[in-house]
Amino acid sequence: MTESLLVDEPVVAAALDRALRTGGEFAEVFVEDKRSSSGLLDDGKVEELTSGRDRGAGIRVVVGESTGFAHTADLSEAGLLAAAEAAAAAARGGSGGVTRVDLDRTPTSPAPIETYPEAVAKATKVGLLTQADEAARSAEGNAAGSIAQVMARYGDSRRRIQVANSDGLLATDDQVKTLFSVSCVAVGDSGMQTGRESRGHTIGFELFDRYDVEELARSAAQRALTKLQARPAPSGAMPVVVGPGGGGVLFHEACGHGLEADLVAKSASVFAGRVGELVASPSVTLIDDGTMGGEWGHFAIDDEGRPAQRNVLIQDGILTDYMWDHLRARKEGRPSSGNGRRESYKHLPMVRMTNTYIANGSDTPADIIASTPNGVYVKQLGGGQVNTATGDFVFGMTEAYLITDGEIGEPLREGNLIGNGPEVLTRIDALGNDFAMGSPGTCGKDGQGVPVGDGTPTLRVESLTIGGTAA
């Protein structure tokens, strides 16, 4: 079944004509209709229960190296024509004449949805929050402490987009996402610790057929309770084993951004000019894949109307390509890689990741741990900071354990992983066969946030600096 258009084809064509008439060399109309709802339960009380809708269009006009952009919430023909004129004027003064654009609609296949969240009663969504709260608070404690605070959050969105441009492209997508997260605070004699679990997919309310919110809540609570008994993390360089899914964010931030073509073009990436070179251990294959059905960074088309792609960036350690948006790819005379993304119709697209991950290796997780006499096992990483020009990073360890005599042992208090992304890629000396995606995330870049996924199998970095507090 063909997805209905947000704006009729003749109206979109007229806006493109107006943009080209006033001097544009390339013009694009991006239309968006986004509905969302969310709920937050904190300390046993529903603090937020919101829903909203935002509709509008962004029009981009390119003349040479200049880009004009205007956006409007008025989706009438008059509103779109006015925005087209404003965008064209920003790119270059008008030159008269008329250029007609014939649009050729591209068939797309949005992700199948079983239950649209907008059709689910708010009371049902609130019920999930209260279930999670009760389950977390009933988690078995120990002499070290108990759960003192629980925060549960629900969110869903439905984002319909329509993209048309002066090359004749016309494409649509319907993106539905559902998210649930639980954060717990445990308090004991040793202080206060936190634990968190989240699940999010590009699917509908059937997310809760896959995951039990009570189980997620108990897992978050247990993580917080376990950390109350943790010892200070060690300091210094040592082997680090990262669990399945847990380290994807490290490679997203420390390596992925450096493979985005806009940063490469600005010489703001350590990977600039290195295609064809060995940049990682020969066991490492790094992929960005917007086609991964159900994952947080999945879509049928990107925000420039290009079909989602599976892009191999590093193959067996060798840098094979970068990620591209339409305009940068057009300038280089090559196709876009489907990585043109924007936060909303109010923003210009830029090169962004989708689902970025390191592919499976051949080692078993048990063998990787057993062959590591001493080190640190990181089950989950938190936020961090990265310098994309150098690859230097600092990431927090939100759940980690000491490895002693080839076995995972005592839990560690939160510390930092400190290193350099390109160096880490070359120091991976073991790669597991237990690939998993990590928690859903929002990637920030130049003031815009977009949903992304990341993942890894269990892997070992032969040496990384731990910033702990142990003497």
Lowest model confidence (mean pLDDT) among 234-243, 384-393, 403-412: 384-393
Cβ 34 vs Cβ 54: under 8 Å: yes
Q: What average pLDDT does this structure show over 427-442? A: 96
CATH 3.30.2290.10 describes domain 9-35+49-105: yes
pLDDT exceeds cutoff 60 at 97:
no
pLDDT score for 247:
85
Q: What average pLDDT does this structure show over 61-68? A: 91
pLDDT score for 98:
37
Cβ 136 vs Cβ 184: under 8 Å: yes
Q: Could you read off the pLDDT of 243-260 as tens digits, one per residue?
A: 999 888 888 988 999 999
Share of the chain above pLDDT 90, in %: 83
pLDDT score for 94:
42
- What is the C-alpha separation between 264 and 271, in angstroms, rounded? 7
Q: What is the mean pLDDT of the chain?
A: 92
Would you place residue 90 in the very low, low, confident or very high pLDDT band (cuts 50, 70, 90)? Answer: confident
Q: Could you read off the pLDDT of 334-370 as tens digits, one per residue?
A: 999 999 999 999 999 999 999 999 999 999 999 999 9
pLDDT exceeds cutoff 60 at 278:
yes
Q: Could you read off the pLDDT of 109-137 as tens digits, one per residue?
A: 788 899 999 999 999 999 999 999 999 99
One fold for 9-35+49-105 and 117-159+173-228? no
Beta strand residue intervals within 278-391, DSSP E:
286-289, 310-315, 318-319, 340-341, 350-351, 355-358, 374-386
pTM: 0.94
Would you place residue 471 in the very low, low, confident or very high pLDDT band (cuts 50, 70, 90)? Answer: low
pLDDT score for 470:
65
Give residue 372's identity as a one-letter amino acid code: T
pLDDT score for 183:
97
Lowest model confidence (mean pLDDT) among 181-190, 195-204, 432-441: 181-190
**Structural domain boundaries of the chain?**
9-35+49-105, 117-159+173-228, 236-467
Lowest model confidence (mean pLDDT) among 196-200, 209-213, 464-468: 464-468
Helix (H/G/I), strand (E/B), else coil: 302: coil
* CA-CA-CA-CA torsion sign (275, 445, 203, 59): negative
Would you place residue 95 in the very low, low, confident or very high pLDDT band (cuts 50, 70, 90)? Answer: very low
- What is the C-alpha separation between 9 and 22, in angstroms, rounded? 20
Instruction: Tell me the two tokens of residue 445.
Output: 């870049």
Type and span of the H or E element at 402: strand 392-404
Please tell me what DSSP assigns to residue 256.
Answer: I
Would you place residue 139 in the very low, low, confident or very high pLDDT band (cuts 50, 70, 90)? Answer: confident
Beta pairing, strands 169-188 & 104-105:
parallel
pLDDT score for 390:
87
Decide which of 3.30.160, 3.90.1170, 3.80.10, 3.30.1640 is the CATH code for 117-159+173-228: 3.30.160
Lowest model confidence (mean pLDDT) among 44-58, 138-152, 418-432: 138-152
Phi, psi of 228 (to 5 degrees): -65, -25
Q: Could you read off the pLDDT of 287-314 as tens digits, one per residue?
A: 999 999 999 999 999 999 999 999 999 9
Residue located via tokens 């708010």:
122
pLDDT score for 159:
98
Q: Which whole-number Å values give the CA distances from 348 to 59, 247, 290, 341, 344, in the listed order? A: 9, 30, 19, 8, 8
pLDDT top residue among 449 and 415? 449
